Amino acid sequence: MMNPSLDFAALREAFNSHRRIRIAEALPPELAEDIRRELANLRYSLFCATSKGVAVLEHDEIARWPQSRKDELRDFLMEGAAGGEGFAYNGFRITEAMERLSPATALGRLARDLGSPAMLEMIRTITGPSDIDSAFAQATQFLPGHYLTRHLDDPAGERRRFAFVWGFTPVWRPDWGGLLQFFTPDLEPSQSLSPGFNTLDLFDVSHWHSVTYVAPFAQAPRLAISGWFTKR
């Protein structure tokens, strides 16, 4: 699945410097474009949360709500985000939908390849020896007003080892927000990465990170496939 022209020895050396890396041209170009096209046409739900809970809401359901209820949801999410908690973005759980994704589609191929022995061995080649044996992936679409507050990807019991973000955003300006932001252990900003196309951001779950608020004037969706390489 990954681009066979990649220099895996060089990628491993780069990864070891900070235990994270952005890989350019991560997939064969035609495959990356096919995935972008399919991501643009997915039926997304709204994934949102604060410390009080997580919700998956259908957009046609929200459209039927009275304005007062929409305002209540917005205020609830903004209150949580103001305290550094929660997220709101469009999502589609690829791993859970694998049986409904045809292997003839690019997303179907990716869903099956992510947890394959060949892919896991490629990831170990970059990150070093590990016990990863599976993967979980979701498609994400960040639109104006979406965000993912600062957090770690290591909840108790999940056995996550490495997080990933495959980028499929062909046009983006950093002023629009949507940046993958990393932080020092003291929670100071240390690195910001603009959404990219055919990129793979790979990092171990010890890194604090966020996706910055997408500005109202953003002119394109931030498209990605994110998730984790895990131990069952």
pLDDT, position 99? 86
Mean pLDDT by 10 residues, the chain (232 residues): 94 97 97 97 95 90 97 94 95 93 94 95 96 97 98 91 98 98 95 98 97 98 98 90
Residue 73 included in any domain? no
* Cα–Cα dist 87/149, whole Å: 6
- pLDDT of 52 reads 77
CATH number at residue 175: 2.60.120.620
Query: Into how many domains does the chain fold?
Result: 1
Q: What is the pLDDT of residue 209?
A: 98
Query: Regarding beta strands 189-193 and 53-58, do their DSSP bridges make them parallel or antiparallel, or are they unpaired?
Result: unpaired
Global pTM reads 0.96
pLDDT at residue 4, as a whole number: 92
Of 7, 32, 80, which is closest to residue 224 (Cα–Cα)? 32
Residue pair 50/88 in contact by the 8 Å Cβ criterion:
no
Closest CA to 187 of 158, 214, 210, 204: 210
Give pLDDT, residue 22: 98
Which domain, by its residues, includes 207? 8-43+91-230
Give the whole-angstrom CA distance, residue 98 versus residue 5: 28
Q: What is the pLDDT of residue 177?
A: 98
**Does 121 reside within a domain?**
yes
